[in-house]
């Protein structure tokens, strides 16, 4: 069943999914949409807690329990199935779905941030793409600004289509570093290719700057309603 919201995936790990996800949630909430947020699986979790999930929890108003926002947490900074196996555990997809349903019942829309890229394995024989399909959410793909992004973006979008995932759009994330002239020209080619699929581009952010300013809440809500 199609659900209202986004499943945020990336062309790689560390591409800026959490910054983008928090920006989208804050933008939509400031525009009047009650959207909840979830990071169903977080790996590399230390004693400080699941930092990505905690950031999403606060972006969504801070009222949802962390156990629902992030039901599965593992210490090893690896793919979910690897991190779980390292602890003698497994990835319980039903537990994720139950937490998602509790959150979805309290909000008008949902944003779920995946771990790594689209084909990162979760449970045995399952991937992040399968999780997006299971939750009924359209993909929002976060891509790098640097060299290699054309290939990585094309591969991700092609695989999403092959698997039957709806794609809401693409966000380019510059991260904290600048790009070379060659990278800039390369990126221009990608922008032209994406056309209306490109929902936003996040430049390098200053310390404390929110990505929400680069998203138009009304445009995002229209995207949610059209996919």
- Active-site residue set: 39
Count Cβ atoms within 10 A of the Cβ of residue 66 and give its class: 0-12 exposed, 13-18 middle, 19 or more buried.
middle
End-to-end CA distance of the chain: 12
Cα gap 41→169, rounded to integer Å: 23
On the CB side of 215, CA atoms within 13 Å amount to 28
Rounded Cα distance between 131 and 91, Å, is: 12
DSSP designation for 212: G
């Amino acid at each position: 069943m199609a659900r209202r919201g986004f499943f945020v995936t990336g062309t790689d790990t560390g591409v800026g999914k959490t910054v983008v996800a928090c920006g989208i949630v804050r933008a939509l909430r400031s525009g009047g949409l009650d959207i909840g947020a979830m990071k169903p699986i977080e790996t590399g979790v230390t004693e400080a807690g699941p930092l990505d999930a905690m950031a999403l929890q606060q972006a969504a108003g801070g009222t949802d329990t962390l156990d629902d926002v992030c039901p599965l947490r593992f210490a090893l900074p690896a793919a979910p199935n690897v991190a779980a196996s390292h602890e003698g555990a497994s990835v319980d997809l039903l537990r994720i779905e139950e937490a998602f349903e509790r959150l979805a019942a309290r909000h008008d829309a949902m944003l779920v941030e995946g771990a790594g890229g689209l084909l990162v394995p979760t449970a045995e024989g399952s991937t992040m793409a399968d999780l997006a399909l299971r939750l009924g959410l359209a993909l929002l793909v976060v891509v790098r600004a640097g060299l290699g992004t054309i290939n990585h973006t094309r591969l991700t979008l092609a695989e999403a289509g092959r698997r039957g995932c709806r794609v809401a759009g693409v966000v380019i994330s510059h991260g904290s570093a600048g790009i070379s002239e060659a990278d800039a020209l390369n990126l221009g080619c990608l922008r032209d290719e994406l056309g209306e699929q490109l929902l936003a581009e996040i430049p390098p952010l200053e310390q404390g700057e929110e990505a929400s300013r680069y998203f138009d809440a009304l445009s995002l809500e229209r995207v949610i309603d059209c996919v």
